[in-house]
Every structure is written in structure tokens, then in C-alpha cells.
Amino acid sequence: MVALLEWWSGTECTLYTDPKSFPFYGKENAIVILNHNFEIDFLCGWTFCERFGVLGSSKVLAKKELAYVPIIGWMWYFLEIVFCKRKWEEDRSTVASSLQRLRDYPENFWFLMHCEGTRFTPKKHKISMEVAEKKGLPKLKHHLLPRTKGFCVTVQNLRGKVTAVYDSTLNFRNNQIPTLLGVLNGKKYHADLYVRRIPLDTIPEDESECAAWLHRLYQEKDRFQDEYTQTGHFPGPVVSPPRRPWSLLNWLFWLGLLLAPLCMLLLQLLQSGSALTVATTAVFCLAASAGVRWMIGQTEINRGSSYGNKEVLLNNND
């Protein structure tokens, strides 16, 4: 999927960051905080991982339903991805035990988090700001209120193993609204990613203080988005690593290995002359196409989860 973004659609990913932080990327364990506004923000996060050589060891905190998505979900299950049900009474122990297992992970890893818990929509933003007003928190313009409990548990369990938090804020030039379907159709986008490296030992250990720290972080992220809207760029210099050829080579290898014999098989079936065989082949191809479209649909903002709707958000407002 990274190859599709970088090589098929030609999407450009520009990194804004402090040159002093740049040498640490890919050389240490880190928690990566991403905003959740776009259908392909997870894919841009993976691209960030790939360019620093940690895509294979990157982990995410994902909703349990994604474990059942064909191919991607199954792959995540076996790659020690941390899944949650979004019911904190059940999630606290399972998430903590999954994070503890990462302490023995033999390679440098990045743990990617969308602290808002769900993608930004105007409806969810309105409800989120009602909760902010009720709790006396400053309102956000470009983000939902962060879900602090998951972040605090992550910091508690990875402290001593992880050395930094990478605060990452993503936007797209010229008000582009990227979609995964657009990427598959070869449409080119231009992503700008602003990353700040924050040493983990500067984040409070106390849960309430850690939660307050995360709220302040999102207020700062909001100001960065305001600056981007006004100027067209994030603060700081551009220090972008070039795209690497490995994702493209991997993609071409599997295309050659799998598609060539599959195409030959389909051609033989179509040439068999059997109406039943041809019809069965056509149904199989349509089912495969529908399956791919369904998986794409899981990334669409208008098909997002109900998490963040009023009845959920008001009952889980920490």
C-alpha cells in the first residue's frame, strides 16, 4: 500500500521537523501521535515509517473490528498489533498486557496512535466541543478532544523502553481531500507532515497530569493547523528523507509471483468453452472486486464508526 501511494499515485510526502531531531528517527523506540482527519492519514503514517526503515516493526492501537478485515486485519493480528474494543473497563488490562509484550521486542519500533479515537467530522466535532465546554476545556478548531486514558496507559507501560513521543500533524496542500480510491486510481496528492520530537521523560507520570499534558498538546496542534491554513506550510525547515525503492521492489516481486500465474489460469478457464466455467470465473472476479471495494469503504470518512457520536462520547468523555 505504501508502494501504491508513493510510486503508483506519485503522492509526495514532505516532512517538516527540527534538523536536530532528524538523526533520532528510525534509531529509537517512539510513540507517534497522529491527527485523524483524512481517509489516508494512516497510509501517510506508514510512509513516514517506511522512509526511516521501521515499517516492518511499526505497531498501532486499532479497533478490534479491523482484526477481521481480510489480508490487512489478519496481517496485523500476527504482527502484534494492539487491538481494543473501545470499552475501557475491558481494554485497560488487554492493552496494558499487549504493550508489556512490546518491551521485549528485539527491534526499534514505532507505536502509532490516533488519540482522537475516530476520524474528524463536523458532527463529531460539534459533539466533542460540547463535551469540552461541559468539562471546562479549551475548544479545538481542527481536532476532536483526545482520548487521554489510552495515551496515559501507553506511556505508563512503555516508559523506560520508549525514549520519545513524535507529535505528528498532517495536512494536504491546496485543500486536497485525499481518498484511498483516489490513490488506487493513480491520483497524485501532496502531503505535508510536521513532526516534533518530545523526550518521554518530560511527560508527567501521574495520570491526571499526563492527561492535562495531552490536552495542551492538542491545543498546540490546533495552532499548527491554523498556521498551515494561513501560510500554506508548517513551522520549521523541510528535512525530508527520499522515498526508498524497497516498497516498489516488494510490490513488483509479489505482482510477478502471484498475478502472472493467476492471469494464465483465468485465460485457460475462459478458453475452456464451458459456459458454467466462464460464468463461475466472472462471479469470482466480481466478488473479488466487491471485496476490495468493501475494504476501501472501511477507510471512508462517511462510513466511519459510531464512536464519537453523542451517546458514546458523553458516556466515555475521559
Q: How far apart are CA 168 and CA 45, in angstroms?
A: 9
Percent helix, strand and coil across the chain, each to the nearest 5: 50, 15, 35
pLDDT of 60 = 80
User: Helix (H, G, I), strand (E, B), or coil: what is residue 276?
Assistant: helix
**pTM of the complete model beyond 0.85:** no
The mean-pLDDT minimum among 20-34, 35-49, 276-290 falls in: 276-290
The backbone torsions φ and ψ at residue 234, rounded to the nearest 5 degrees and listed phi first, read: -90, 165
The backbone torsions φ and ψ at residue 144, rounded to the nearest 5 degrees and listed phi first, read: -90, 165
Answer with the residue of higher pLDDT: 256 or 171. 171
| Average pLDDT value for residue range 270-293 | 73
Domain residue ranges of the chain, discontinuous segments joined by +: 2-246+295-313
Task: List pLDDT tens digits, range 180-196.
Answer: 889 988 999 999 999 99
- How far is Cα of residue 224 from the mean position of the Cα atoms in its chain? 19
pLDDT of 311 = 46
Q: Which residue has the cell 476545556?
A: 137
Q: Residue 195 is placed in which grid cell? A: 513532526
pLDDT of 306 = 53
Task: List pLDDT tens digits, range 91-137.
Answer: 777 788 888 888 888 899 999 988 998 889 999 999 999 999 999 99
Task: Look at residue 274 and tell me whether its pLDDT is greater than 90.
Answer: no
Q: How far apart are CA 129 and CA 143, in angstroms?
A: 10
Q: At what angle do helices 275-297 and 260-270 cross, to 10 degrees?
A: 140
Sequence-separated (6 or more) residues with CB below 8 Å from residue 197: 17, 18, 21, 24, 25, 30, 164, 165, 166
Answer with the residue of higher pLDDT: 304 or 8. 8
pLDDT of 58 = 87
Q: Residue 68 is placed in which grid cell? A: 477481521
Is 108 in contact with 28 (CB distance < 8 Å)?
A: yes
Q: Which of 174, 196, 247 is nearest to 9 (CA)?
A: 247
User: Helix (H, G, I), strand (E, B), or coil: what is residue 112?
Assistant: strand
Which conformational region is residue 308 in: left (phi greater than 0), alpha (psi within -120 to 50 degrees), or beta? Answer: left
Task: List pLDDT tens digits, range 48-90.
Answer: 999 999 998 888 877 777 777 766 677 777 776 777 776 667 7
Per CATH, is 2-246+295-313 categorized as 1.10.3470? Answer: no
Mean pLDDT score of the chain: 85
Is 38 in contact with 91 (CB distance < 8 Å)?
A: no
| Average pLDDT value for residue range 205-225 | 95
pLDDT of 297 = 59
| Average pLDDT value for residue range 231-251 | 89
pLDDT of 49 = 92
